[in-house]
Every structure is written in C-alpha cells, then in structure tokens.
Amino acid sequence: MKKAWALAAGSLFCASGAMAQSNVTIYGVVDTYLGYTNASGRGSVVSLDSGGYQASRLGFKGTEDLGGGLRANFQMENGFASDTGGMHDSTRLFNRQSWVGLANNLGELRLGRQNSPGFLMIARLDAFAGATYASFLNNVSAYTPRYDNVIGYISPVMRGFKLQAYYGLGEQTTPKNGLSTYMLAGEYESGPFYLGLSHSTQNSANDNIAIRSTFAGGAYDYGNGKIFLGYYRGNNLGAAATTNVRGSYYGAYSISANYRLSAQATIGAGYGWAKDSTGAGRDARQISLIGTYDLSKRTMLYTTYAHLTNSNGATFSLAGAAPITKNVPASGGTVNGIQFGIRHLF
C-alpha cells in the first residue's frame, strides 16, 4: 500500500510538473455590433452582427523550448458568430488558423492553414483597423484572408525590417500548379514610422488565370494619433478566378487619420476612392468616421459612419471584419451605414 501511494504521489508530481512547463494560451475575441444600412434601390436594414471591428474567435496557441534556441510553435483558431453562436465555417473546426512550426534566431517556419500577409497588413493601413463599415480598403478589396496547405517563412526583425514568404500547395495531379498560391511581404517599422508591402497570387484550378492582390502603405504616429495611407490593387473583381478578366484591375486609395482625445477615447476620419482600369468607369468613393472608447484594457466600445458612392454600375457595399449579409445597392447606387459595437478580448 505504501508503494502504491508513493507511485501515485510521484505520478501526480510528474503530471503537475509537465503542466507547469507547458506554455499554452487560450484566447479570443467577442465582437458584436448593431448595424444600420440604407442602400439605393434596396431600402434600409437593421441588424445585429458579429465582428465589426475584429472577427469573433476562439484560439489556442503555444510554444515549447526545444533547447539550443529552437522552439516549437502552434496556433489553432476558430471563427464564430457572436450574434448567433454559430460557426463561420461549419466544415472546419479551426477555419481561421491551424498550423505548427519551428523557430529560432534565423526566423520561423510554419506549416498549415495560415493568414495571408495582406490580411495581416490591411489592419495597419487605415484608421479603421482594416475592418468596420468605415474601412474603404476592406469594402472594395476582394482578397483571400487565409489559405490551406501553406509553407510559410517569417524572418526575424532586422534593423526594423521583416520579410515573409509563403507557398500554398494546390495538391492537384493535373495541372501541377493549379490552385497553388504564392505570397510575399515586407515591412519596416522604426519609432513612429510603419511601411508595408504585400502581394499574393493564386492560380485557378486549370492554371489559366491567377487571382492577384497587392496592398501597400504606411502609418505615422504624430504623438496624439496616427496618419495612414493605404493602397490596394486587385484583379479579383468577382472574388473567384472564373469571374476575372485578364488585365482588368481595381486600384483603391485611402487616406485617414485618428486623434486621441484622452487615454481612453479616439476619433478618426478618412476618405477613399477606387478606380476601374477597364475604362467602364465602375468607380467608387467613400467618406468615413470612427470613434472608440476603452472601458478597460480588454473592452472597447466603437461607432462608425460611412457613406459610399458607386459610379456606372459598380455595386460596392459596406462590410466588417467577419462575413455578413451585405445590403448591396442597385448598380451605381449609394449606401450609408452606422455601427454601434462592443469588442471584448480574453
């Protein structure tokens, strides 16, 4: 009996030690907002939606020190709708991220479903977190936020510079390059300055057409807030390779700024315009306002206003950080939108 108790105590001690050494973090975002939109030819809609400022999610991430400066890392992330409790993708348990990798002082190698560098960068190119109704860049771009079967490399930060390179396997027998993805990004950050450039190319299933998206821009912290410049160029006009026309692009431009009224409150404004390269004149422009108030380090209130005007058959509308049913205006119409939301981090 004494031996049994000793073995049990030893097992418990070992288990406790293993738990103490593990470095796993459970984290998440719960973001819900009340939205009002009024679109030409469609009328008005009042909705309670998830993910206005950031997409609601539940995630797990961790790291293990393997010795000699080598670490094993992983991250798994599920996106859900906080207004209904449903999953954003019922076919995937971890639809946002699911990767494992190794890292040392030479950089990090990741394998699995990963965020695209454009998705990570857009949040730093305007005063609206690259989301909410107010983000023109988000409203007019049709980039893919994340890809499957990706081999990714992220360099260490060297004198303010960081590089990223990704390759996504299409996993097809014929053609070999069908559905494959190539992504590159470079960033520079030093003091109040931030600059970024990212590009992604995804081949169609038959390898005849490529979906291309490019983001570029930067930000400057002037002390009481930030000034942002953002640019997007993409040929994914229909967000699917089969709807693209070779040589047809949209170029979108955004200028915005915010101002810290206090340690808790910030206001911001911006203007954006998009140009259709086809000559059809399906252009768009938008004016935007945003206000945020931090109730704590983890809980924030936000409100936005946006007025988007389309030209010559364009039908851009207002979006958020997560998928929603958009109130799409009639061809060439306008859409106005207001949001009141709360975002909580845990």
Taking only the tens place, the pLDDT of each residue in 47-61 is 999 999 999 999 999
d(CA 157, CA 163): 8
- List Cβ neighbours of 258 (8 Å cut-off, separation of 6 or more): 127, 225, 226, 266, 267, 268, 269, 290
Q: Is the entire prediction scored with pTM above 0.95?
A: no
Q: Say how many C-beta atoms besides its own lie within 10 A of residue 137's C-beta.
A: 28
The answer to whether residues 341 and 303 touch, using CB atoms and an 8 Å cutoff, is yes
Q: Give the pLDDT band (50/70/90) at residue 17.
A: very low
Give the residue-averaged pLDDT of 267-271.
98
d(CA 155, CA 172) in angstroms, rounded, equals 29
C-alpha to C-alpha distances, 251 to 141, 242, 294, nearest whole angstrom: 9, 20, 34
Q: For the chain, list the domains and their CATH numbers.
A: 41-345 (2.40.160.10)
- The pLDDT value recorded for residue 236 is 66
- Give the pLDDT band of residue 204 (cuts 50, 70, 90): confident
pLDDT at 295: 98
